Structure 1
Amino acid sequence: MEARSGSAPRDLAALPKAHLHLHFTGSMRHSTLVELAAERGVHLPDALVEDWPPHLQATDERGWFRFQRLYDIARSVLQTPGDLRRLLRETAEDEAAEGSGWLEIQVDPSGYAARFGGLTPTVELVLDAAREAEAATGVGIGVVIAANRTRHPLDAKTLARLAVRYTDQGVVGFGLSNDERRGRAYDFEGAFRIAHRGGLLAVPHGGELLGPQSIRECLETLEAERIGHGVRAIEDRRLLDKIVDRGVTLEVCPSSNVGLGVARTAADVPVRDLFEAGARLALGADDPLLFGSRLVRQYELARADHGFTDEELAELARQSIGGSAAPEAVRKRLFDEIDGWLARPQAGADA
């Protein structure tokens, strides 16, 4: 079956996929942010209203501080349990509309604990909200508890122990986020050892604002099974070969990389080079609230800027599912649905 010249490509929102790199507050709809801010009396800067999405550049300390400040302002509108439940329900609705059959959403409960009664009640609230959102939308949801690089490693151990307690209630992984320049991965080895023993996936950020050495620490010291971003592995072929050999999945977020100044344009994000080197990739939106685009847009960029065919895009979707913690039944269903997506003719194709 050959497509006619100029035939419409297959709908990427209909391509079944998993979303593995999405932060909790950063998943909020912009309209919800504006509405909740008005209700709660929270003043939003122009960058989150008239000038949204904000113009960001976080490759220096000042730029990262501005990014973090906007994120903290956005988080401040989430003031009641109902707000958190709404955020997760709307996020799951958006994921369903974009073809996600499985979502792993990352949250640092420390950022919400003071408002919601402590770390444990916060985690239990998020997990309960995730179950509600899952039931309402049909999107499977796993929660990744993330430690903050800018806090003490002992805080990370506390979070790792907490995460392990809820592995049977929806916590699937343990992460490490925030500015790589302010917290080396090896400082958090103890926390990740706890997470590994508890059966959680190790999913730290690395290779975004710093180069290959940051990724190497995640790989060797934290025994990462996925790496958030990891795009700068392309600068070290031996490291990239090790990532390929170990089957580590890189959570590549093109719009985020451009938004934070890691890459000049989406075409400069090495999606094609990583893919052709044999690395397993899971495209992610990171923080749609601050970068202005969700998951389908990342697949559109792979198609438009890197020349990915529908067969290759389907393989990216398979790799996202393969790198996830989704139950086997969910994996099988999504793999079958990807085959079905490919089997459908393109619009305008000859029968």
Structure 2
Amino acid sequence: MTVALRDLRLLPKAHLHLHFTGSMRHSTLVELADRHGVRLPDALREDWPPQLSAADEKGWFRFQRLYDLARSVLRTEDDVRRLVNEAAEDDAAEGSRWLEIQVDPSGYGALFGGITAFTDLVLDAARAAAERTGIGIAVVIAANRTRHPLDARTLARLASQYADRGVVGFGLSNDERRGVTEDFARAFQIASRGGLLAAPHGGELRGPDHIRTCLDSLHAQRLGHGVRVVEDPDLLRRVVEQDVTLEVCPASNVSLGVYQSLSDVPLRALVDAGARIALGADDPLLFGSRLLDQYESARTVHGFSDAEVAALARSSIDGSAAPSDVRKQLHEDIDTWMRSTPTAG
């Protein structure tokens, strides 16, 4: 018997874990590389998406090298505007109605007149893309944990200056096994005073102890990934009680070798424990999997019903920094989706 299902593309949702360069379309990467004379390895051209792993330092180095190569094709303001616009188009086509894209301006500042000028460019591109596509777009500025914590403080001050102009959060990214997380506490204090949401990466490549550090030292309100909290029931209860949003990115978890298959990702266990989940695509350019694919896997791999995927969408909205009126409208639109007649199956 075929079960009739509602179209997940029409399910309103928020996308809270999408990296700037990692959002680029593969076709755009190839086109810009050819235009600017950037030589791409086979893994980013003919053999895309690349076979990845971050189980050891060598694996992460390869992942980072591919990411840096992809970033190097962004040479002009038009390239940046194109990336943001296409990211918005792709999200809108998959039912995303609110997008928070994460960027580290220090990775682009040298080519675009400094970190302030680049931030201005990204925010202007986001405003234009939001107007064209009809979805809300905000920015999370993220520091790189492989750089000095003083650099993170500079970025936190920068982010705070834009708190009323499109920047909604402050993050900490790159290989969470490197650097000392506690050393970035001061940067997160600065961001918090500026009214920004704390959203560091934690709990993917490292386990519960690092999640606890993110909560204790950085006062995380959202965790980039956070899936390994399931390994510590007491910590999981704390995450649930504190309403910490877990930005779960199943395709990333599998591609980087955290779990062997999508069925191993503990999505069901986290939801059953009451955790607030926001599914994310992380880096579609490198993982070959977008936001809709994460919802599809919840349905097809983990057996989520329409009501349960709708609850995931609600969680993503509740974990976002969207204005209250936007959240209210999106919840009403999810209600409408649930009242619609199932047709796919």
- The two structures have a TM-score, normalised by structure 1, of 0.97
Query: Does the 8 Å CA contact 1:22/1:284 hold for their aligned counterparts?
Result: yes
Report the Cα offset of residue 187 of structure 1.
Answer: 1.1
Q: Deviations over 1:298-345 (max 9, x none)?
A: 001111111111000000000000000001121111111100111011
Q: Distance between the aligned counterparts of 1:115 and 1:249, measured in 2?
A: 34
Which residue number in structure 2 is paired with residue 75 of structure 1? 71
- Are 1:333 and 2:326 matched, yes or no? no
In the other structure, the counterpart of 1:97 is 93
Say whether the 8 Å CA contact 1:161–1:194 is kept in structure 2: yes
Question: Which residue among 208, 218, 222 is the counterpart of 1:212?
Answer: 208
Q: Is the 8 A contact 1:7 1:347 kept in 2?
A: no
- Do 1:229 and 1:250's aligned partners in 2 also have CA atoms closer than 8 Å? yes
Task: Confirm or deny that 1:175 pairs with 2:171.
Answer: yes
Q: Distance in 1 between matches of 2:3 and 2:244?
A: 36
Q: Summarize the alignment of residues 106-185 of structure 1 with structure 2, pairs less than 5 Å apart.
A: 106-185=102-181
Instruction: Look up the match of 1:250.
Output: 246
Of 36, 43, 47, the residue aligned with 2:39 is 43
CA RMSD of aligned residues (A): 0.9
Q: Which residue of 2 aligns with 1:236?
A: 232
Equivalent residue letter for 2:16: L
Structure 1: gaps (5+ residues): none
Measure, in 1, the Cα distance between the counterparts of 2:32 and 2:177.
33
Matched, 1:60 2:56: yes
Q: Distance in 2 between matches of 1:333 and 1:82?
A: 33
CA distance in 2 between counterparts of 1:303 and 1:184 reads 38
Is 1:302 aligned with 2:298? yes
Q: Secondary structure at the match of 1:6?
A: coil
Distance 1:147 1:239 in 2: 25
Q: Is the 8 A contact 1:203 1:226 kept in 2?
A: yes
Q: Distance in 1 between matches of 2:50 and 2:114?
A: 31
Does 1:289 find its partner at 2:288?
Answer: no
Match for 2:159: what amino acid?
A
Percent identity over paired residues: 69
Instruction: Give the Cα–Cα distance (whole angstroms) in 1 for the partners of residues 176 and 134 of structure 2.
Output: 35
Q: Of residues 187, 192, 197 in structure 2, which corresponds to 1:196?
A: 192
Deviation at 1:348, TM superposition (A): 7.5
Match of 1:9 among 2, 5, 17: 5
TM-score by length of 2: 0.99
Q: Name segments (4+ residues, structure 1) moved above 6 Å.
A: none
Stretches of structure 2 lacking an aligned partner (at least 5 in a row): none
Q: Report whether the alignment pairs 1:26 with 2:22.
A: yes
Kindly indicate whether residue 255 of structure 2 is the aligned counterpart of residue 259 of structure 1: yes
SS at match of 1:130: helix
Query: 8 Å contact 2:6–2:344 — kept in the other structure?
Result: no
How far does residue 275 in structure 1 lie from its aligned partner after superposition? 0.4
How many residue pairs get aligned? The number is 345
Q: Is the 8 A contact 1:184 1:214 kept in 2?
A: no
* Helix, strand or coil at the partner of 2:228: helix
C-alpha contact 2:7 2:344 (8 A) present in aligned 1: no
Q: Does 1:314 align with 2:310?
A: yes
Residue 61 of structure 1 and its aligned partner are, at CA, apart by 0.2
